[in-house]
């Protein structure tokens, strides 16, 4: 509603004219979470809104704009006025999608990268009652099954599809045919599919796995993260196990704005994020949802670029894109 | 255990908790009644508040909002044929005709009674049957899911139409429309514009099909629909009427409980399914769609019957089955709790408090419903010439507000015209809508099954649950076709 009215005001020339950047921000900021409420991106967005509002001095409202694997929300931010009042809680998908899909709704360079926020591990799991105890055994079983083993993922070129495909590639198998992909929507549906024994395994975001793992309904084999998770100290990382490509894949969140944000807006967010980095609410909420804060420790522009190259390279490798 | 329950009762029975639940329920009813504002929206907006609340009151607030909005959707469905939530679409089929006959109060009361009963039964099932329901939810894999959905669609295709053939045509159109957008493997279908890549959302399709044709009728036929004057005593449900609907209420609650516990199905499908069953087993199915109280009872008991059992997967397995419980998982995580079987061991005190609170909220729903009904009931006295344009404005703004996407308003208007055309051709709209909602579920689970079986159709008959649904599908197909043949014969006999 508010956006509509502001929109009308600007179009009809009733608006205050150009926003004076030095006044930024002078009104509420909309933070778009491109995935559903209660999910990892939503929780991160709400935590950021809670902890950053005191430093930026204006309220931050979280809006869930979902669809097309998060790209609908991303598109709406890329299309928004570059005045700093609409920003995006970007997930790895915002870089992955343009890197593997030439018809992407938003290209990776249609944003201003404002800052890294957190890293969210992904976990390779099998049904709690499965006989498989390690990644090695799983790879062995996949080899023997001759393509009949199934894994759950949000889609072939989604991040949780790439986790499994990267592992298959590292194991010297064909990432596309060595196991059969069964698509599901979202982490919770993936968890149900693996727990119910409808598919054999999957590697997806940790957020929807912690409950079932604690209860023994899912058995974690390895984590896709730079380091082991505090909650799962006995589960090795992919790099530790020697799977090089898989070891580079992990989930993350960052803050993006529309292209060509003014320097003042960028500087303001730099300043705010510096404070958020040490804010106890932010750190506390990050720990509770099982993610590691990367605010201020990772150069987002650099990181986004390296992630783009990683996924673009994998997409060519796997045959989704021509070499 | 008894001491535990007593302790929990003591802890939960505070003025503060009651107040939170009462406000939550009442706000939920109002939000649910406003077209374009959904329970999901209410629960999402309330989530940040729970960051600052204790765990149990916070979660009870979310639960209260959800329950309230599920009932609230029926209020606008009955009074202005604009379902506030998708799950109330079915309630409009009989509720609106009743309102036009001057029996809005009766319809609203029946909706409230069946909602509260469904809700209460659902809470009891959550408390006592969580483990078996969770087992069942996990057993329903892609082939079982696909068969269940096909069965539900079959039952519903005959809903609210004079002709089975037109019902099937309507359902097929709905299935066709559901294919718009990106499919599960990532290819685009009918993605003529960028906006269509994401597919069509349910809310604009729903409101376009149900509410807009009423306005178009007003414009095209230039006759304002006359509401009959309210007759004395017509705003209460008599004991005999209640008894006549009791079977449908109980069956609806049961359908709601089972469908609610299975991840991803949700209250809309449950309501339509229950309605279809009520009509199919009724002695006089021809009354359905023209103001049959039992239709309201069937629909409302089923959609609120989902409210408690939808928490089964979250509490018993630690995995939410829908968006609402997804938000609740967020509330759990922020409090540092992990839902799942361990919760019953580590935090049994909180679990009991939650259960008691949920039972109390069913009772609160009754009073909140009674309270709001008085205000809302006056809407039925506003002349249609004033009300209908106001409803249209509300619909357009509401739909725009959901996703701030003008394309949704376009869908709303186009579907309004489609709905009007269907009215002229006497094609029922209900099968269209339910096929649109169920279509993706059927398709996705069918394709998943075939991916798992590598194309072998045998997977659809591979488990006892599948066999049950195969038998039911055959049974419903045979009885429906036989009834249709008998109807045609009777008509022919009448002519000659």
Domain assignment of residue B117, given as a range: 2-495
Among A12-26, A220-234, B122-136, where is mean pLDDT lowest?
A12-26
Q: List pLDDT tens digits, range B364-383.
A: 999 999 988 888 877 777 87
Q: Tell me which residue in B140, B184, B341 faces A215 most closely, judged by beta carbons.
A: B341
- The mean pLDDT of B453-476, rounded to a whole number, is 93
Rg of chain A taking only CA atoms, in angstroms: 20
CA distance B343 to chain A (A): 9
B446: Cβ contacts below 8 Å, ≥ 6 apart: B142, B146
The label of the residue with tokens 């894109």 reads A321
Task: Tell me the pLDDT band of A7, cut-offs 50, 70 and 90.
Answer: very low
Hey, of A31, A41, A149, A196, which one would you mutate to test binding to chain B, going by the most B CBs within 10 A of its CB? Answer: A196
Is residue B85 very low, low, confident or very high in pLDDT (cuts 50, 70, 90)? confident
Query: Are B452 and A208 inside 8 Å of each other by CB?
Result: no
Task: Mention every residue, 6+ apart, whose C-beta is less than 8 A from residue A291.
Answer: A40, A44, A118, A119, A120, A121, A253
pLDDT of residue B231: 55
> pLDDT band for position B3 (50/70/90)?
confident
Question: If you average pLDDT over every residue of chain A, what do you get?
Answer: 89
The mean pLDDT value for A129-141 works out to 95
Chain B interface disruption, residue of A33, A69, A160, A188, most B CBs within 10 A: A188
Average of per-residue pLDDT across B293-303? 95
Mean pLDDT in residue range A14-26:
58
Asked if A192's CB is within 8 angstroms of B319's CB, the reply is yes
Q: Quick: pLDDT tens for B133-147.
A: 988 888 899 999 999
Domains, chain A: 16-120+250-317 (3.40.190.150), 122-248 (3.40.190.10)
Least CA distance to A147: which residue of chain B?
B454
For the whole model, what pTM was predicted?
A: 0.84
- The pLDDT value recorded for residue A18 is 45
List the helix and strand counts (H, then E) for chain B: 21, 2
Q: Do A212 and B327 touch (CB under 8 A)?
A: no
pLDDT-above-70 percentage for chain B: 96
Asked if the model's pLDDT at residue A3 lies above 70, the reply is no
For residues B237 and A113, the model is more confident at A113
Chain A / chain B CB contacts < 8 angstroms: 156
Q: A288–B339: do the CB atoms touch at under 8 Å?
A: no
| Confidence category of residue B400, pLDDT binned at 50, 70, 90 | confident
Quickly state the pLDDT bin for B160 (edges 50, 70, 90): low
Locate tokens 């306005």: which residue?
Answer: B215
The stretch B225-230 carries a mean pLDDT of 58
> Mean per-residue pLDDT for B75-84?
88
The reply to whether residue A68 touches residue B336, judged by beta carbons under 8 angstroms, is no
What is the model's pLDDT at position A8?
A: 45
Q: Which of A37, A42, A72 sits opposite B198 (nearest CB)?
A: A72
Query: Does A274 have pLDDT greater than 70?
Result: yes
pLDDT top residue among B8 and A294: A294
For chain B, the average pLDDT equals 87
Q: What pLDDT, in 10s, does the model give residues A34-47?
A: 987 777 788 899 89
Cα–Cα nearest to A120, from A44, A65, A66, A68: A44
pLDDT band, residue B479 (cuts 50/70/90) = confident
**Model-level ipTM above the cut of 0.90:** no
**Is B326–A65 a contact, with Cβ atoms under 8 angstroms apart?**
no
User: To probe the interface with A, which of B186, B187, B264, B322 has the most A CB atoms within 10 Å?
Assistant: B186
Of A4, A37, A155, the CB nearest to B47: A37
Q: Do B454 and A180 touch (CB under 8 A)?
A: yes
Cross-chain residue pair B44–A75, CB shorter than 8 Å: no
**Å between A1 CA and nearest CA of chain B:** 6
A290 and B333 within 8 Å at the Cβ level: the answer is yes
A202, B97, B205, B422 from B417: Cα distances, Å: 45, 21, 11, 9
Which of A57-66, B109-118, B406-415 shows the lowest per-residue confidence on average (mean pLDDT)? Answer: A57-66
- Determine which of B317, B397, B460 to mutate to test the interface with A (most A C-beta atoms within 10 Å): B317
Residue B229 has pLDDT above 80, yes or no: no
Interface contact flag, B404 A37, Cβ < 8 Å: no
pLDDT of residue A19: 46
**Residue B172 pLDDT greater than 90, yes or no:** yes
- Section B295-310 average pLDDT: 94
Q: According to the model, what pLDDT value does residue A22 have? A: 61
**Helix/strand/coil percent split, chain A, to 5:** 45, 20, 35
Mean pLDDT within A54-66: 89
pLDDT of residue A142: 96
Nearest residue in chain B measured CA to CA from A188? B319
Quote the number of domains for chain B. 1
How far apart are the CA of B374 and the nearest CA of chain A, in angstroms?
A: 29
Q: What is the pLDDT of residue B230?
A: 55
- Chain A residue with the nearest C-alpha to that of B182: A68
Under 8 Å between Cβ of B310 and B325: yes
Across the range B171-194, mean pLDDT stands at: 88
pLDDT of residue A4: 47
Give the percent of chain B with pLDDT over 90: 42
Is the pLDDT at A301 greater than 80? The verdict is yes
Q: Which residues from A are below 8 Å from B328, CB to CB?
A: 38
More confident residue, A14 or A302: A302
Mean pLDDT of A174-190: 91
Query: Do you know the residue count of chain B?
Result: 496
Interface touch A67/B199, C-beta < 8 Å: yes
Q: pLDDT at position B158, please?
A: 65
How close A24 comes to chain B (CA, Å)? Answer: 24
Of the listed ranges A164-168, A181-185, A286-290, the least confidently predicted one is A286-290
pLDDT at B486: 83
**DSSP H or E run through A162:** helix A159-170
Which among B317, B327, B330 has the least Cβ separation from residue A195?
B317
Beta-strand ranges (E) seen in A157-281 are: 180-183, 201-205, 218-224, 251-258
pLDDT of A6 reads: 46
Query: B-chain residues within 8 Å CB-CB of A188?
Result: 263, 319-321, 326, 329
pLDDT band for position B468 (50/70/90)? very high
Q: What is the pLDDT of residue B416?
A: 94
Residues of A in contact with B201 (CB under 8 A): 67
Cβ <8 Å between B263 and A65 = no
For testing contact with chain A, the best of B264, B319, B394 (most A CBs within 10 A): B319
Taking contacts as CB-CB distances below 8 angstroms, the residues of chain B near A193 are: 141
DSSP character at residue A106: S
Confidence of residue A5 (pLDDT cuts 50, 70, 90): very low
Burial class (CB in 10 A: 0-12, 13-18, 19+), A1: exposed
Write out pLDDT tens, residues B98-107: 988 888 889 9
User: Helix or strand or coil: residue B256?
Assistant: helix
């Amino acid at each position: 509603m508010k956006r509509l009215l502001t929109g009308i005001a600007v179009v009809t020339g009733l608006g205050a004219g150009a926003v004076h950047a030095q006044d930024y921000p002078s009104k509420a900021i909309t933070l778009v979470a491109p995935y559903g409420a209660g999910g990892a991106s939503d929780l991160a967005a709400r935590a950021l809104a809670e902890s950053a509002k005191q430093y930026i001095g204006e309220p931050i409202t979280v809006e869930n704009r979902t669809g097309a694997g998060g790209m609908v929300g991303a598109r709406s931010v890329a299309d928004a006025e570059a005045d700093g009042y609409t920003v995006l809680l970007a997930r790895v998908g915002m870089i992955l999608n343009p890197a593997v899909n030439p018809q992407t709704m938003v290209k990776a360079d249609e944003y201003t990268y404002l800052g890294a926020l957190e890293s969210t591990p992904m976990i390779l799991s099998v049904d709690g009652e499965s006989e498989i105890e390690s990644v090695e055994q799983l790879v062995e079983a996949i080899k023997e099954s001759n393509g009949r083993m199934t894994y759950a993922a949000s889609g072939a070129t989604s991040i949780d599809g790439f986790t499994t495909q990267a592992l298959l590639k590292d194991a010297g198998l064909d990432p596309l045919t060595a196991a059969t992909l069964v698509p599901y929507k979202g982490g919770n549906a993936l968890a149900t599919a693996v727990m119910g024994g409808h598919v054999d395994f999957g590697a997806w975001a940790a957020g929807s796995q912690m409950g079932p793992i604690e209860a023994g309904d899912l058995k974690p084999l390895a984590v896709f993260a730079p380091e082991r998770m505090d909650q799962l100290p006995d589960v090795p990382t992919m790099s530790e196990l020697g799977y090089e490509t898989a070891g580079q894949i992990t989930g993350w969140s960052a803050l993006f704005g529309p292209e060509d944000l003014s320097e003042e807006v960028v500087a303001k967010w730099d300043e705010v994020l510096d404070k958020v980095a040490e804010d106890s609410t932010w750190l506390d909420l990050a720990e509770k949802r099982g993610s590691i804060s990367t605010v201020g420790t990772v150069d987002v522009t650099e990181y986004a670029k390296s992630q783009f190259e990683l996924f673009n390279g994998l997409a060519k490798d796997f045959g989704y894109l021509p070499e | 255990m008894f001491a535990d329950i007593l302790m929990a009762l003591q802890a939960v029975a505070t003025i503060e908790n009651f107040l939170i639940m009462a406000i939550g329920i009442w706000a939920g009813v109002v939000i649910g009644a406003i077209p374009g504002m959904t329970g999901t929206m209410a629960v999402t907006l309330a989530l940040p508040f729970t960051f600052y609340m204790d765990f149990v009151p916070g979660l009870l607030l979310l639960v209260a909002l959800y329950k309230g909005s599920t009932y609230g959707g029926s209020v606008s469905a009955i009074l202005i044929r604009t379902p506030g939530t998708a799950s109330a679409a079915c309630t409009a089929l009989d509720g609106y005709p009743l309102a036009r006959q001057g029996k809005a109060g009766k319809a609203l009361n029946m909706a409230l009674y069946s909602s509260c009963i469904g809700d209460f039964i659902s809470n009891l099932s959550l408390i006592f049957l969580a483990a078996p329901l969770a087992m069942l939810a996990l057993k329903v894999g892609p082939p079982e899911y696909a068969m269940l959905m096909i069965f539900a669609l079959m039952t519903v295709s005959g809903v609210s139409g004079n002709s089975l053939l037109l019902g099937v045509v309507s359902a097929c159109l709905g299935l066709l429309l559901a294919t718009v957008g990106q499919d599960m493997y990532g290819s685009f279908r009918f993605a003529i514009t960028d906006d269509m890549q994401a597919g069509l959302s349910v809310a604009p399709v729903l409101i376009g099909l149900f509410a807009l044709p009423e306005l178009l009728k007003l414009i095209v036929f230039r006759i304002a629909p006359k509401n009959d004057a309210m007759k004395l005593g017509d705003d209460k449900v008599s004991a005999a009427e209640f008894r006549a609907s009791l079977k449908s209420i109980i069956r609806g609650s049961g359908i709601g409980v089972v469908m609610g516990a299975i991840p991803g199905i949700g209250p809309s499908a449950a309501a339509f399914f229950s309605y279809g069953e009520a009509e199919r087993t009724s002695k006089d199915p021809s009354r359905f769609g023209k103001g049959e109280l039992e239709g309201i009872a069937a629909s409302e008991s089923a959609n609120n019957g989902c409210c408690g059992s939808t928490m089964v997967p979250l509490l018993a397995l630690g995995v939410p089955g829908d968006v609402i419980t997804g938000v609740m998982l967020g509330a759990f995580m922020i409090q540092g709790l992990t839902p799942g079987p361990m919760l019953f061991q580590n935090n049994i005190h909180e679990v009991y408090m939650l259960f008691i609170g949920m039972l109390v909220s069913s009772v609160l729903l009754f009073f909140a419903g009674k309270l709001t009904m008085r205000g809302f009931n006056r809407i039925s006295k506003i002349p249609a010439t004033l009300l209908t344009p106001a409803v249209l404005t509300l619909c357009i703004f509401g739909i725009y507000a959901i996703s701030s996407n003008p394309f949704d308003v376009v869908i709303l208007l186009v579907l309004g015209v489609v709905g009007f055309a269907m009215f002229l051709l006497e094609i029922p709209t209900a099968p269209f809508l339910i096929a649109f909602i169920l279509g993706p579920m059927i398709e996705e689970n069918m394709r998943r099954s075939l991916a798992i079986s590598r194309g072998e159709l045998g997977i659809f008959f591979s488990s006892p649950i599948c066999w049950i649904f195969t038998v039911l599908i055959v049974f419903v197909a045979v009885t429906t076709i036989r009834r249709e043949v008998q109807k045609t014969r009777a008509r022919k006999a009448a002519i000659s």
